[in-house]
Chains A and B, each alone.
Chain A
Amino acid sequence: MTDVKSLNPQLNDFFSRQLRKGERILWSGQPDLSIVFSKADIVLVPASALWAGMAIFFSSELVSAARANSSYVPLVIFFAVPFTLMAFHATLGRFVLRRCVKSRTYYLLTDQRVLALSRMFGDSAHETFLDDIDQVTTVRTWRGAGSLWFGKAPGWLLFLGTSVFDFPNSLAEGIGPVAFYDLRDADQVYSLVAELKSK
């Protein structure tokens, strides 16, 4: 099983600050960084490529028009530049951001709770107590990895998977239950949670 504590001892302090009195960490992990795509990318990659194509065509037309007639310059500033920037984020930028968020995300399973921690923008924690978990949903992602949602999650959230990290203000901020994304050892974590809940 992945144990980020053993990989990075500096995290010990961060983790111990999250724990309640007497609480013990039974498992810790991180999303697998080698998994680049989410299931939603089946739709998002072609859609973003289409967007980028349109943005480049539209922007180049506007830039040509602005060269010939300076009254088109504001249209370049207010439309062509933002559309091109959005297209850049949709095609490439979001994968860089996703990787960045994933690398700063940590998951803890304790004898009382499941916690998804992030050190991306300040410290954030999303948690739920084991006895509050009414269902655990598992979704296979890529190359044998899996994601777990600890509670009832809407279908679109399951489909988006790690695509929720594509926005700096996280689309899923406060939405849906605690989730562990792209775990290599999703099955073991699932079994461990089931075992803890049965006690």
Chain B
Amino acid sequence: MISDLWSAREIFRGRLGPDEDITWYGQPKTSVLFNAHDIFLIPFSLLWGGFALYWEGSVIAALLRGEEKARNGGDLLEFSIFGAVMVLIGLYFVVGRFFGKRWLKRHTHYIVTGERAVVLVAVRTGRILSLDLNDLTALKKSVGQDGVGTIWLGKRSLWTGNQDNTGLEVLGYFLTSRQKPPPVFYDIADADRVYELINDMTRERRNARLGALERR
């Protein structure tokens, strides 16, 4: 734990306030491959991949037979290029995204300080998403039998976060300029304990603030 905190200080050097100390540090477990979204994503990706392969296979077979035009008059070479792109997308969808997810997890770091909960994705210059514990009003956790779980630090909107932790966000990661709130600690070990820690710290800060207001 101490060595973890030590390495966290190195990773977050220059990204924290002068008096800000790290209370907890963690990373998402790379061994967790699947999440609830996969209930839809796996069948859908297999259908996509399967149909793309069927399409490309049919076009290549026709090209090998020496045909140049499809029955509808379309150019088979153009069809094969289109099909190849669909096959590549399908391959990423079916298999590649799990490698993408693992890669992103390796570069993701979570900390809780006395003031904030912070997610850092340390790719290139790094992207940071933090939430002041004073602003935390709704916590949510989902924990498996092995104690590994996910903690949502606030409410997300319907339009953000749907592809998070699926491996698909790796593609979006290079297109968008920032992460979308709220911060989420995905697939962390001992999630119940971290959840309680955040809860306790939030309450302590809230009570201290209320106490200060009452004294005025």
Given A122-B145, A123-B143, also A178-B138 (CB < 8 A): yes
- CB-defined A-B contacts under 8 Å, sample of 15: A20-B196, A74-B54, A122-B144, A125-B141, A127-B139, A128-B137, A129-B206, A132-B137, A132-B138, A168-B39, A169-B35, A169-B40, A173-B36, A174-B140, A174-B155
Asked whether B203 is an interface residue with its Cβ less than 8 Å from the other chain, the reply is yes
**Distance (whole angstroms) from the CB of B59 to the closest CB of chain A:** 13
Contact across chains for B138 and A78 when beta carbons are under 8 A apart: no
- Whether A24 sits at the interface, judged by CB under 8 Å, is no
Point out the residue from A131, A170, A175 that lies within 8 Å of B36, measured CB to CB: A170
Q: Say yes or no for A177: interface residue by CB 8 A criterion.
A: yes
Q: Decide yes or no whether A77 CB sits under 8 A from chain B.
A: yes
**Cβ A124 vs Cβ B47 within 8 A:** no
Contact present for A168 and B36 (CB under 8 Å):
yes
Query: A174: which of B35, B143, B152 is its contact (CB, 8 Å)?
Result: B152
| A176 on interface, CB distance cutoff 8 Å | yes
> Which of A122, A156, A174, A176 has the most CB atoms of chain B within a 10 A radius of its CB?
A174
Q: Are B137 and A151 in contact (CB under 8 A)?
A: yes
Which residues of B are found within 8 Å of A151, using beta-carbon distances?
137-138
Residues on B with C-beta less than 8 A from A178 are 138
Interchain nearest-CB distance for B203 vs A (Å): 7
Chain B neighbourhood of A169, CB < 8 A: 35-37, 39-40
Give Cα A1 to B87, complex, Å.
57
The residue on A at minimum CB distance from B158 is: A175
Cα of A118 to Cα of B42 in the assembled complex, Å: 24
B residues 128-187 touching A (CB-CB < 8 Å): 137-145, 149, 152, 155-158, 161, 182, 184
Q: Tell me whether chain A's interface is mostly helix, strand or loop, or mixed.
A: mixed
Looking at chain B's contact residues, the main secondary structure is mixed
Query: Which chain A residues border B192 with CB–CB below 8 Å?
Result: 17
Q: Is the CB of A124 within 8 A of B143?
A: yes
A-chain residues with CB within 8 Å of residue B145 when the two chains form the complex = 122
- CB atoms of B43 and A82 under 8 A apart: yes
Which A residues, 123 to 148, have Cβ-Cβ distances below 8 Å to chain B? 123-129, 131-132
> What residues on B are CB-neighbors of A167 within 8 Å?
40
* Contacting pair B157 A175 (CB below 8 A): yes
Distance from B23 Cβ to chain A, minimum over Cβ atoms (Å): 18
Contact of A128 among B138, B203, B206 (CB under 8 A): B138
Cβ of A6 to closest chain B Cβ, rounded Å: 26
| Closest chain A residue to B39, Cβ basis | A168
How close is B56's CB to chain A, nearest CB, in angstroms? 12
Interfacial chain A residues near B35, Cβ < 8 Å: 169
Contacting residues of chain B (31-69) with chain A, CB-CB under 8 angstroms: 35-37, 39-40, 43, 47, 50-51, 54
